[in-house]
Every structure is written in C-alpha cells, then in structure tokens.
Amino acid sequence: MAYEKTYLETYARSERSFLFAVYDGNRMVGATTAIPLADETPEVQMPFQKAGYDLDTVFYFGESVLLPAYRRLGIGNKFFDEREAHARKFEQYTMTCFCAVQRPENHPLRPADYRPLDEFWQKRGYRRDSSLQSEMIWPDRDEAVETAKPMIYWTKNLL
C-alpha cells in the first residue's frame, strides 16, 4: 500500500493528470491513468531525455487495471480513447507513450493463459521503441523486497 500511495502522489500533484474508472454498479472494476511526461518521475522521463525529446510534448499513460471478468469487452480501447482525448485537449502534446515490463517467457508469475498485448497496442497505432528503456523498482507479489524490472516504451504520434 505504501508503494501505491507514493505512486499515486505523483498523479495527485499534476494539474493535468487523468484517472478514468469503470464501475459495475457501485463496484470499481477497472481504472487507467495518464499524466504529462514532464510531471512524471525521473525514471520515466530519463529515456526520453536521453533521446532528446521535449518532455512538454509527450503525454505518458500509466497504469491500466481491469478485473478479468471485464476483459475483452472493449474497455481496453475505451481506456486508450479517453486518455488520448485528454492529452489532445491541451493542444500541446504530439506524442503519447506507455511502458511495459519485460519478463522472460518462463517467469513464475506469468499466468498459464497469458496473451501478450503487443497486437492490441499495434492496432491502436503504438510502436515499440527499443531505444527507450528504463528500470522501475517495485516488489512483485512473491517478493519481500523491491527489485528492478526492465521496462520498454511504446509510442504513438498524436498528430
């Protein structure tokens, strides 16, 4: 909980951050976040700074979580639609991006029915950019301590 609270404080401080939640009655079943890259943490900004991007023109898409029973119903597309519309309304962002953790295919936490999201992201117009990489630190469900995870970024031009 402490990790999640710290993570969300970054979004709470940003005037342009975005949270979109999906409810089934009174029960939240999914949510997604977005924030200007200039308001994100240094580890997220770093690969873009190194590559020479103007951080003030990039909008970063953070977490997307959706309970299993609500997947494959079009909500994932809605998450992207809403975040992209939010970024566009400021008329300064020319790119959106997000990152995905890179795990080995035999990772012990990978579900047996795991399906990569690469095809879904590509259909949305996102492209994996192997030149944009970073590490993020958090404790996995089976870890007592935080460990570094390799991250790779996906980008899309908004213009």
Instruction: Please give the sequence-ordered ranges of beta strands (E in DSSP) within the chain, or none if there are none.
Output: 18-24, 27-36, 58-66, 95-101, 127-138, 147-157
Task: Give the distance, in angstroms, between the CA of residue 99 and the centroid of all CA atoms in the same chain.
Answer: 6
In 10 A of CB 19, how many CB atoms? 17
The owner of tokens 């939010």 is 86
Q: What span, in angstroms and rounded, lies between the C-alpha atoms of 14 and 36?
A: 8
pLDDT in tens, 79-134: 999 999 999 999 999 999 999 999 888 888 788 888 889 999 999 999 999 999 99
Question: Does residue 4 carry a pLDDT above 80?
Answer: no
> What pLDDT is recorded for position 101?
94
> What pLDDT is recorded for position 115?
85
Sheet holding 147-157, edge to edge: 18-24, 27-36, 58-66, 95-101, 147-157, 127-138
> What pLDDT is recorded for position 55?
98
pLDDT in tens, 7-48: 889 999 999 999 999 999 999 999 999 999 999 999 999 999
> What pLDDT is recorded for position 7?
81
Question: What pTM did the predictor assign?
Answer: 0.93
Q: What is the mean pLDDT of residues 58-79?
A: 96
> What pLDDT is recorded for position 2?
76
> What pLDDT is recorded for position 18?
98
Question: Does residue 3 carry a pLDDT above 80?
Answer: no
Tell me the domains of the chain and their CATH numbers.
2-157 (3.40.630.30)
